[in-house]
Amino acid sequence: MLQHQHDDICIPRNLWLAPGLSLREKALLAEIGLADPAQGYRAGNRQIIAFLGVAERHVRACIAALREKGFVTVKLNAEGERIIKPTSKLAKLTKRPRR
DSSP for 2-66 reads: -S---S-----HHHHH-TT--HHHHHHHHHHHHS-TTT-B---HHHHHHHHT--HHHHHHHHHHH
pLDDT on residue 94: 80
pTM equals 0.85
Contact predicate 28/62, CB 8 Å: yes
- For the chain, domains (ranges, CATH) are 13-94 (1.10.10.10)
The 10 Å CB-count burial string (b at 16+, else e) for 14-24 is ebeebeebeeb
- Give pLDDT tens digits for 32-84: 988 888 899 999 999 999 999 999 999 999 999 999 999 999 999 989 899 99
Cα gap 11→48, rounded to integer Å: 16
pLDDT on residue 2: 47
- Give pLDDT tens digits for 15-38: 999 999 999 999 999 999 888 888
pLDDT band at 7 (very low <50, low <70, confident <90, very high): low
